[in-house]
Amino acid sequence: MIDNQSVYLAISIILFVIGAAGAICRRNAIVVFMCIEIMLAGVSIAFVTFSRANQSLDGIFMVLFVMAVAAAEAAVGLAIFVLMYRKHGSIDLDKFNLMKW
């Protein structure tokens, strides 16, 4: 019989894989941003699952840090998207050569 922890871990793995595939395959910056958020949600579910399995609060505290990182990422990421759109008129990642000289 399948226990709840296996189901939660399977869901977290599925979310992480969907997010990773979307971040690699997509070229729209907002879609890549949302895929990274999906990956963070999958990691958070895994942290909570392991925390409940070990009867400790360490995983819950890690989820709080992940949420703080996601909030900071949202603020900085959206500001970068606005600046990219103002400068180039698009947020398509193929059009940017930000790391080149």
Least confident of 26-30, 82-86, 88-92, 97-101: 97-101
39's enclosing H/E stretch is: helix 29-54
How far is C-alpha 75 from the chain's CA centre?
14
Q: What pLDDT digit, counting tens, does each position of 42-55 carry?
A: 999 999 999 999 99
The class (CATH top level) of 27-92 is: mainly alpha
With left for phi above 0 and alpha for psi between -120 and 50, is residue 89 left, alpha or beta? left
- Asked if residue 97 has pLDDT above 80, the reply is no
For 65-81, how does the pLDDT look when each residue is reduced to its tens digit (9 = 90+)?
Answer: 999 989 998 899 889 88
